[in-house]
Amino acid sequence: NKTKLLIRGGTVVNHDRSFEADVLCENGIITEVREGIEAPDAEIVDATGNLVMPGGIDTHTHMQLPFMGTVAVDDFYYGTRAAVAGGTTMIIDFVLGPNGEPPLQSYTKWRQWADEKVCCDYSLHVGITWWSDIVAEDMEILTKSKGINSFKMFMAYKGVYQLDDHELLQAFKRCKELGALAQVHAENGDIIAEQSKKMIELGITGPEGHEMCRPEEVEGEATNRAIVLANQVNCPLYVVHVMSKSAADAIVSARRRGCVVFGEPIAAGLGCDGTNYWNKDWRHAAGFVMGPPIRPDSSTPDYLMNLLACGDLQTTGTDNCTFCAEQKALGANDFRKIPNGVNGVEDRMSVIWEKGVHSGKMDPCRYVAVTSTNAAKIFNFYPRKGIIAVGSDADIVVWDPNAKRTISSKTHYQAVDFNIFEGMECHGVTVVTISRGKVVYDHGQMKVVKGSGRYIPRQCFADAAYMPILQRDKVCQPQKVEREPYTGPVVSIP
Ligand code: URP
Ligand code: ZN
Ligand code: ZN
Ligand code: ZN
């Protein structure tokens, strides 16, 4: 009945520095970080020669999502089990109820689905899939008593989830009032609806049509529009799944102007390119269908990785939302019906290590920042997670930076029958994963317990957390000019 775990002999890597230290965990919490810890009654994890990092935080998943006529196959059990095998110890999933369902009701459903299945800790964002007074009221309950501090608004999926500009403004205003972070799916849904109809009329019904009817300016336009709208009401903004140079550029230039806006590239966009939509094998091509699409331009992944490395983009998720062949086949004759979504929750840490650190673009500290720490800070649960420090949750990955593995659907833990990273050789391999002080994955052996993960509630932000916003509030204060009233002639209306 050991409640003590000692990780011995590794190099601790946090977002700000790395150093040699042992890490002692007691009852799920880190209680000591220093060299030469003695704990005779503790279970020992030997980390000699390896890195000891805060467990990955995947900011963007859709486990068992009911979507486009089917349900994503990686549920909260298979999804989180795969996550820990890949060194991720927390996911933030999206509550995404159908248009018309009150968000509080959707949230309750998600909690029930997740609580009985999760193998690691999790938190939730809430999707605002329609707009009404009921939604605005539920947002207050969710922020005040359900631990929600982020809401995702959709600018695409016309007729299903899409909000128009007026509704977006209302939603951003509401987020600002409540101290919540507004998130956007930034794509112009009207253009997509129009162009995809045209594509079908031209007889292009395959997955390449999915990409061609939503070129990157469709994402760039919406990203810029979301930034402008949010900025008008001084609302901080978080752009999910940044897939293109145009969208990234919009975020970077807004940050230069002083806007509080964050950008989240995902593993798919950092590790793959969209030429796969032209693959001769339909199932292969359909496997990459997601919104926004992965860009066919082969230089986009590096571009996004460079922005992560320099701090212009901040977090990484996966948008993990997986469908097997027979589900993707719902769109066999019409790309508009292919369920949108790709894998990533298991492979994100390896893909970013390979393309980010092994390639020389970022150092291990920056890697920890973009895979873990920044997410904990931006979504307001730092330092509970995202750092190896006394008092933090013992969510830890022991990482071998030199070992190699080849990604394949034949060996992955995910329930889905396809892997967009198939054949990719990655340096950086999970050796041991620890979730709240317990070993859940050990040298290829799965030790998870279904339902053992906990919900992590998050508090809203005090305005003080956003100093630039406060300054903007002052700048934008309407100024009335005192002047003598006009006394000259006025034209008379006949
Ligand atoms: O294709 C995607 N991204 N599927 C999941 C839903 C979403 O928009 O994130
Ligand atoms: Zn989305
Ligand atoms: Zn998503
Ligand atoms: Zn390599």
pLDDT tens-digit readout, 343-392: 999 999 999 999 999 999 999 999 999 999 999 999 999 999 999 999 99
- What separation in Å is there between the alpha carbon of 53 and the centre of ligand 1? 29
Q: How many CB atoms lie within 10 A of CB 82?
A: 26
CA of 338 to the centre of ligand 2 (A): 15
Q: Is omega for the bond preceding 40 within 30 degrees of 0, making it cis?
A: no
Burial class (CB in 10 A: 0-12, 13-18, 19+), 102: middle
In a 3-state reduction of DSSP, which class is residue 438? Answer: strand
Q: Does the pLDDT value for residue 444 go beyond 50?
A: yes
The pLDDT of 396-414, averaged and rounded, is 98
CA separation for the pair 312, 205 (Å, rounded): 37
Q: Enumerate the H helices of 372-465 as residue ranges.
A: 374-378
Per-residue confidence (pLDDT) for residue 253, from 0 to 100: 97
* CB atoms inside a 10 Å sphere around CB 492: 5
For the segment 296-304, the average pLDDT, to the nearest whole number, is 97
Residue of 162, 241, 242, 337 best suited for mutating to test ligand 1, as the one with most atoms within 8 Å of CB = 241
Report the distance separating Cα 132 and Cα 134, nearest Å: 5
Q: In the predicted model, is pLDDT for residue 78 greater than 70?
A: yes
Which bound ligand lies closest to the C-alpha atom of 405? 4
Around ion ligand 4, residues with a beta carbon closer than 5 Å are 358
pTM to 2 decimals? Answer: 0.96
Distance 485 CA to ligand 2 centre (A): 53
Whether the per-residue pLDDT at 474 is higher than 70: the answer is no
Test site for ligand 1: of 157, 340, 343, 420, most ligand atoms within 8 A of the Cβ? 340
- The alpha carbon of 471 and the centre of ligand 2 are apart by a number of angstroms equal to 31
pLDDT of residue 181: 95
Q: State the CB neighbour count (10 A cutoff) for residue 413.
A: 18
Q: Is the ipTM of this complex over 0.95?
A: no
Closest CA to ligand 1's atom 9:
319
Q: What separation in Å is there between the alpha carbon of 96 and the centre of ligand 1?
A: 10
Is it the case that residue 114 has pLDDT exceeding 70? yes
Residue 400 tokens read as 């071998």
Average pLDDT of span 13-42: 98
Quickly list DSSP for 318-353: --B----HHHHGGGTT-GGGSPP-B--TTTHHHHHI
Residues linked to residue 126 through DSSP beta bridges, in sequence order:
95, 151
With 70 as the cut, is the pLDDT of residue 468 above it? no
- Phi first, then psi: what are they for 441, rounded to 5°? -150, 130
